[in-house]
Chains A and B, each alone.
Chain A
Amino acid sequence: MSTVDVRTRIVNSVAVIYPGPYLNQLRGECLEGRCRELLAGGIRGVVINFEETELINSIGISILLGVIETVNESSGSLVLSNLSATNRELFEMLGLLVHVRIEETEEIALGKLSARSEVAAR
């Protein structure tokens, strides 16, 4: 039984997920589960805000890869935001920067995803 939960909010049909201070197996699985629920509920835009996240371990990365694939398979869009320098370096080292959209802030990420939804709706 999970004893942690990840905070989520919905802004203009885009979900913002906050993984918390340490993205490990416990929080990662929580994040993955929440993401699946949101996609099943019709959400297609997801922002993961790493502002509070100080550390991402290997298990967290593995789970995050699963989340990226799940969103892609659902024809959704995923943007990571507010990455600290350390976490950005980690993504860079693993070669993920070119495969995942990353924005400086949650507002920018939301703006990009909202604009995309509007284009898709037209």
Chain B
Amino acid sequence: MKLALRKMLHNLSALTDLGAEISSTHNFEEVMRASLHTLLGSLAIPRGAIAQFSARPRMLKIMAARGLPGAIGGHILLGREEVKRLALHGRPLEVAAEQNGLSHFVQRNGDILKRMRAHTFVPMVVHGGLEGVIFLSEKFTKEPFTEDDTELINTISRHIGMAFYNHRLLASLRRKAEENRKLYQDMRQMYQDTIKAFGAAIDLKDTYTKGHSDRVARYSEAIAREMGITGTDLEYIEVAGYLHDIGKIVVDRSIINNPRPLTDREFQELNRHVTTGYEILSNINHPWKEIAYMTKCHHEKVDGTGYPQGLRGDEIPLGSKIVTLADSFDAMMTDRPYRSRLPLDRALSDMHRNAGKQFASEVVAAFCRLLLKEINGTSRDRVFIPVIGLKFDREAISSTLTSMIEELD
């Protein structure tokens, strides 16, 4: 085989190895080390180093070195003018040459260049910007670099320079993505806090229902989770729990806190809170649309006797069915202006009686499963225990829940 052809094949092979290395998923220092090896090995150069340019402070940081113990991590400080000159060249330069306009740089860094036995340095320039510099010693044979050698050095340096550029770009994108992620997290937290604040504001209108919205949200979220609901659907249901009574903001406080049975007019006024809530929430953009409708339907009943639309069965969103049960359970378990809280067995009996009428059976079943797990201690969560307390017949309640689950599941 002719020497020229052999050389060409050897160079092609080196470029292939370099391409594979640069596009690999190895860490960047490893990629640079292999790239330097490829360049040195392709021309039998025993020593060399690859240095990355940093603009602040202006310097070259040695990232990979061969035949130069202790060189990695070393710095070469650069002047503003030197950066410009290096960026202008972008091709191999002999350290000893006077005409490249970098004699000051060579003089100032004489010691380190001597230690590196640098004979040639190659500024790596991408889109007019300096990415780094490659330092090379003489060839092992001490022969001068030929024109072909210089071309190969140029080609490999361009590839390595591009790898630096892409690496920097990727690092910058990663930084930005992380900033956006944090921003999103902050906004999300703010959104959640705002919703909780709304819930607390609603509850302030009613002296008896302090913490009601917060509890309904927690119960709704737990029941939905028990039913296998995840992700944004789960989140929406929790938010609907917080905001289900938002329409009460416009209902007269005297009606809400009235200890006597309400008149028809007062009932009409109170019942308006679901449509008012819907009007408030539906004016807010994504992700509130589904939530608005969920709150509107939280007084619908599966047998069609609820309000405001008299929807039945599957016409009612599942989230609303869950909030309905959570709302009713909390109402039964807390004192109201018109009655004291109900004992747990009575509340369960009420739910049992109304499963398939007021409440969706599958939601009642999920609630019973969850409550049974808490009572039995098979669940670490304490969603219902804080409100039901510990003064109940554990055995009897467990038995009731078990039979309800068997019947409704």
**Inter-subunit contact A96/B38 (CB<8 Å):** no
- Give the CA-CA distance A57 to B39 in the complex, in Å: 11
- Tell me how many residues of B have a C-beta within 8 Å of chain A: 26
| B116, chain A: closest CB distance, angstroms | 15
Q: Known contacts being A66-B46, A94-B44, is A58 close to B141, with CB within 8 Å?
A: no
Whole-angstrom distance between the alpha carbons of A59 and B64 in the complex? Answer: 14
Contact check: which of A59, A68, A69, A89 meets B1 at CB < 8 Å?
Answer: A89
A59 to B355: give the CA distance in the assembly, Å: 75
Residues of B close to A96: CB separation below 8 A = 44, 140-141
Per-position binary interface string of chain B over residues 173-211, scored 1 when its CB falls under 8 Å from any chain A CB and 0 otherwise: 000000000000000000000000000000000000000
Known: A57-B13, A93-B10. A65 touches B41 (CB 8 A): yes
A58-B14, A89-B1, A95-B140 given as contacts; is B46 within 8 A of A69 (CB)?
yes
Contacts of B353 in A (CB 8 A): none
Does A90 count as interface, using CB distance less than 8 angstroms? yes
- Contact: B38 with A95, CB < 8 Å? no
Within 8 A of A (CB), among B1-32: 1, 3, 6-7, 10, 13-14, 17
Contact: B141 with A95, CB < 8 Å?
Answer: yes
Q: Is the CB of B140 within 8 A of A58?
A: no
How far is B14's CA from A68's CA once the two chains are assembled, in angstroms?
21
Interface string of B35-48 (1 = CB under 8 A from A): 01111111111100
Q: List 18 A-B contacts (CB under 8 A).
A: A57-B13, A58-B14, A58-B42, A59-B17, A59-B38, A61-B40, A61-B42, A62-B41, A65-B40, A65-B44, A65-B67, A65-B140, A89-B1, A90-B6, A94-B43, A94-B44, A94-B141, A95-B140
Question: Which residues of B line the A interface, CB within 8 A?
Answer: 1, 3, 6-7, 10, 13-14, 17, 34, 36-46, 66-67, 139-141, 143
